[in-house]
Amino acid sequence: MTKGPLRVVIVGAGFAGLNAAKALRQEPVHITIVDRRNFHLFQPLLYQVAAAALNPSDIAYPIRSIFRRQENVRSVLLAEVTGINLSDKTLSLDDASVLPYDYLILATGATHSYFGHDDWEEVAPGLKTLEDALLLRQRILAAFEEAERNPDDADRLLTFVVVGGGPTGVELAGALIEIAVHSLGKEFDVIDPTRARVLLVEGAPHVLPVYPEDLSDSARRQLETLGVEVLTGTMVSEIDEGGVTLSDGRRIESGLVLWAAGVQASKLGDILGVETDRTGRVHVEGDMSVPGHREVFVVGDLATVPGVPGVAPAAMQMGRHAGRMIEADLRMRSRFPFHYRNKGALATIGRARAVADFGQVRFGGFLAWVAWLAIHIFYLIGFRNRVLVLISWAWSYLTFRRGARIITGVPRLPEKGEP
Amino acid sequence: MTKGPLRVVIVGAGFAGLNAAKALRQEPVHITIVDRRNFHLFQPLLYQVAAAALNPSDIAYPIRSIFRRQENVRSVLLAEVTGINLSDKTLSLDDASVLPYDYLILATGATHSYFGHDDWEEVAPGLKTLEDALLLRQRILAAFEEAERNPDDADRLLTFVVVGGGPTGVELAGALIEIAVHSLGKEFDVIDPTRARVLLVEGAPHVLPVYPEDLSDSARRQLETLGVEVLTGTMVSEIDEGGVTLSDGRRIESGLVLWAAGVQASKLGDILGVETDRTGRVHVEGDMSVPGHREVFVVGDLATVPGVPGVAPAAMQMGRHAGRMIEADLRMRSRFPFHYRNKGALATIGRARAVADFGQVRFGGFLAWVAWLAIHIFYLIGFRNRVLVLISWAWSYLTFRRGARIITGVPRLPEKGEP
């Protein structure tokens, strides 16, 4: 142990990492936060950026600003972890520097998985980063423009296939049909955007498969009312530039396939060199620490805990728990196991449509959407963001227009070594 | 002449093109607008996107939405003009299609020029497109992050050189020093962002050289009060990755050089095959038409008219004039020459600082800034944009924070043929 304050290093500034740091707010420790990006991303609203309803910075907030007033956050590093030495208690970073820790909290989350079909990524972009969202936005809007210029190919170009019927897939499918019908409906001369088709393909027998069946049915009905074609119990066997082939042999010609299916944990589980499940998530002890290393915690989507879903509230709770375990150590109290509090689940389907599952109380439709709106705005970090997002939504809701409907260049992440 | 309504084709949806289309609002014509992008860009606020104060869609508005209610705008084409056949009265587009016209209005504006040093573009990015602005934002914010990780090199990394002391250069220099001092000042652990240097290099004896001398002096004083080092009567003789060499032989080590100097008209003047000046601008008749072609107008920054500056109000007036000339033809009235009404000039220098030149009345400081703010918000297209921009500014002004302070990937324009 060093003589100064204990050094806590948190890798990843998502919901889990942020909440770990905040839980340690009062403690006499030195916190270092390491992230590849300079911002926290409010991932539940990422699809709204893809759907041209929100701006990137509406849902992204600089990490440095978040901890501006938390004195014990001593350092925020824009870096990638390339190695972890559990016996030396050090991290290697991509600029070849070495970062020592007394406590380590790993919270680098998950990305999408193409189930071994990595070649599909090129033709069926997913939705995990801001760059993904801007790329999707560009492709969605460009599809209508291309159809306008090539009306003979409009049927294919304006058929959108969303693969995966979880919350992201359901939200994207609902948003897509609303863009076509309400936002663009009357603005083209040659094509009729309202004739665009949106298909939602889900392998399980129901959309939102982790929700209770009555809510899954409600979601399906709401989607179909909007005009989405819902194909459950159906897998995708092939994706190429011209469209998708389904498991039943059907071929769907499509101009844009969106991937909202698999999840793969960040590669930090591998770098850690401990036991993971088949999606790369790390098995943890009851207190969220790594077996044999009480000073290393894995939280959020990078950890696998039986019965705990991969949703934002669970990540927040896990992060907070890791912080509390360090607090318990510092105060010579005993650690206690993580207990997940299910605060309910919400998924939106489009303008004024949603499903809500608060255990005993389950409902769909407008009321669920209001609940969804209130909770998401409440959790959005930063006063300004809340106000701006609220105005953006009110405007979209009242006018059916989309404020961020501009096609900009394809964002490309800087290469290593680039500024 | 065709039998149906006259076909008016407008190329470019900047200030000039938009105002040409709007002037024809009541006329029995069929208007086609051709632009490479799907949005109108409010260019005077582009530097605010670069300075992380505004979002891209705050200053960009879909062309289709602008003309949603103007019935005679029959078509909006996302395309690039590759050829103009003045005798056949047709345009060739990049998808090999041919577009006939009865009247043609060319309004494709200008881009930056590196005065023959095109290799400088890589190391000294300019500011003409939204992608430019996002790239600049990324480089500015990344400079501070890089300095935090390499404090030995911080002096160089946190020296910013702005080349060109016109309105864009002055605005950028002011914004840069405010980012460093106010927005980032207290958020870093190793470096002190307030020690960042911003140099403004201008070849003429004064900044804002086209303004009256007392206002140029006021702008210089306001810049120096903020902490900008102003070097007038100084040229840049070399730019490379490590910094710039000045005409007096001085070397300035710099992590980021921003180009705000030369202007070059769009290449459509060349494609037209008529006489242009040395920056590629087309010489026009008094009525803004091309000599020998009464049915072809060139307006905005692509046209050169003695005594008319390359500013947004001038482009609006020229565009409107072209529309009125077509109206005059339709109503069998005679054409009249374009007359520029100088409504004054405004340039901001930073938070609550500006200079204003309304001919008889000239002033600098806070009042000029309020005038600037009011005018820019008034001209921003769309109710929502005005409200959002106002809130963003109020928030930035009161808190010194910047809402759009996120580093996203480098935007890249889609290649030909990409969706």
B270-287 core/surface letters (b: 16 or more CB in 10 A; e: else): ebbebebeeebbbbbbeb
Amino acid at position B181, single letter? V
Alpha-carbon radius of gyration of chain A: 22
Q: Per the CB < 8 Å rule, is B412 touching A408?
A: no
Q: Minimal Cα–Cα distance from A146 to chain B, Å?
A: 7
Q: Summarize pLDDT for B298-356 with one digit per residue, the tens.
A: 999 999 999 898 888 999 999 999 999 999 999 999 999 999 998 888 888 877 788 88
* Closest residue to A37, CB basis, from B75, B130, B407: B407
List phi, psi (to 5°) of B299: -135, 165
The pTM score is: 0.82
Q: Per the CB < 8 Å rule, is A384 touching B405?
A: no
Tokens in use for B338?
């374009």
Question: Rounded CA gap, A179 and A175, in Å?
Answer: 6
| Closest chain A residue by Cα to residue B139 | A419
* Closest residue to B131, CB basis, from A385, A403, A408: A408
- The Cα-based distances of A53 to A178, A208, B9 in angstroms read 11, 23, 31
| Closest chain A residue by Cα to residue B157 | A419
How many of the other CB atoms lie within 10 Å of CB of A101?
21
Give the domain A117-261 fold. Answer: FAD/NAD(P)-binding domain (3.50.50)
Sign of the CA dihedral with B388 first, then B393, B399, and B405 last: positive
List all residues 6 or more positions away from A249 whose beta carbon is below 8 Å from its beta carbon.
Answer: none
**pLDDT the model gives residue A378:** 75
Mean pLDDT for B205-220 is 91
- Which top CATH class is A6-36+79-109+266-330? alpha beta
CATH number, domain B116-261, options 3.50.50.100, 2.40.30.20, 1.10.10.60, 1.20.1260.10 = 3.50.50.100
Confidence band of A90 (pLDDT split at 50, 70, 90) = very high
List all residues 6 or more positions away from B3 whose beta carbon is below 8 Å from its beta carbon.
Answer: none
Alpha-carbon radius of gyration of chain B: 22
Q: Per the CB < 8 Å rule, is A256 touching B143?
A: no
CB-CB neighbors (< 8 A) of A383 in chain B: 395
Mutate to test the interface with B, among A123, A132, A146, A406 (most CBs of B within 10 A): A406
Strands A6-11 and A103-106: parallel
Amino acid at position B83, single letter? G
DSSP B255: S
Q: Summarize pLDDT for A275-288 with one digit per residue, the tens.
A: 899 899 999 999 99
- Which top CATH class is B6-109+266-330? alpha beta
Q: Summarize pLDDT for A168-198 with one digit per residue, the tens.
A: 999 999 999 988 888 887 788 889 998 899 9
Cβ pair B237, B245 in contact under 8 A: yes
Break chain B into its structural domains and give their ranges. 6-109+266-330, 116-261
Cβ pair B56, B43 in contact under 8 A: no
Cβ pair B358, B341 in contact under 8 A: no
Cβ pair A395, B384 in contact under 8 A: yes
Catalytic, out of A131, A148, A171, A253 = A171
Tokens in use for B72?
């005679």
Tokens in use for B128?
């003409």
How many of the other CB atoms lie within 10 Å of CB of A351?
17
Q: Summarize pLDDT for A50-66 with one digit per residue, the tens.
A: 988 888 888 888 899 88
CB-CB neighbors (< 8 A) of B184 in chain A: 64
CB-CB neighbors (< 8 A) of B31 in chain A: none
* B53: pLDDT strictly greater than 90: no
| Same-fold call for B6-109+266-330 versus B116-261 | yes
Mutate to test the interface with A, among B57, B75, B80, B413 (most CBs of A within 10 A): B57
Q: Per the CB < 8 Å rule, is A56 touching B410?
A: no
The residue written with tokens 């032989």 in the block is B249
List all residues 6 or more positions away from A360 whose beta carbon is below 8 Å from its beta carbon.
Answer: none
* A418: pLDDT strictly greater than 70: no
The mean of the pLDDT values for chain A is 88
Q: Mapping DSSP to helix (H, G, I), strand (E, B) and coil, where does residue A288 land?
A: coil
Question: Rounded CA gap, B266 and B280, in Å?
Answer: 7
Question: Rounded CA gap, B301 and B83, in Å?
Answer: 20
Query: Which residues 144-163 on chain B approach chain A with CB closer than 8 angstroms?
Result: 145-146, 148-149
Residue A171 falls in the annotated catalytic set: yes
Q: Mapping DSSP to helix (H, G, I), strand (E, B) and coil, where does residue B5 land?
A: coil
Query: Which residues 375-414 on chain A approach chain B with CB closer than 8 angstroms?
Result: 383-385, 387-388, 391-392, 395, 399, 401, 403-414
**pLDDT the model gives residue A53:** 82
Burial status of residue A321 (CB atoms within 10 A of its CB: 0-12, 13-18, 19 or more): buried
* A370: pLDDT strictly greater than 90: no
